[in-house]
Amino acid sequence: MLLLGLESLPTKGMKKKKYVIKRSTTGLGLFALADLPPQTRIIEYIGKRISKEDADNRYIVYLNETHALDGKARANAARYINHSCEPNAAAYTTGKRVWIWSELAIKAGEEITLDYGPEYFDAYIQPVGCRCKKCV
């Protein structure tokens, strides 16, 4: 099922949308629309810049020791990227912005995944059991 209207706004330097939000085995996920070579910038993780003390939900990405991005808004399509213990993408911080880049070659139709890190894993995934490709 395709969900329209959830994608983020076009970003400079991104000629073509590289992803689509679709249903995955764990709810919604982000899937590659085309073959993506390694080290391809896929999508910006868009969020409100907040102080680390205000980081209180599961869509937090830390920028540095004092600040984080709260990406819970639906406009942030990158929030649909699911965790995997064997991810094919990674998040990189550039100043105040966070971008998701492919780490491995990702085939068209393949789900884009990130390693959410041990803190997130222990808090949100461990209690219900990881359902990534590696763990299932």
Binding site for Zn ion (CB under 5 A): 85, 130, 132, 134-135
Query: Smallest distance from the beta carbon of 128 to Zn ion, in angstroms?
Result: 11
The CB density around residue 71, as the number of other CB atoms within 10 Å, is 21
Residue 109 to residues 29, 59, 81: CA-CA distances in angstroms?
A: 11, 24, 14
Residue closer to Zn ion, measured from CB, 46 or 91: 91
Query: Smallest distance from the beta carbon of 115 to Zn ion, in angstroms?
Result: 9
Q: How far from the centroid of its chain's Cα atoms is residue 91's Cα? A: 7
Residue closer to Zn ion, measured from CB, 14 or 135: 135
Residue closer to Zn ion, measured from CB, 1 or 136: 136
For 96, the token pair is 């105040």
Residue closer to Zn ion, measured from CB, 96 or 134: 134
Contact call for residues 114 and 45 (beta carbons, < 8 A): no
Query: Smallest distance from the beta carbon of 29 to Zn ion, in angstroms?
Result: 14
Q: Is 51 exposed, middle or buried (0-12, 13-18, 19+ CB in 10 A)?
A: exposed
For 114, the token pair is 């990130």
Query: Smallest distance from the beta carbon of 136 to Zn ion, in angstroms?
Result: 8
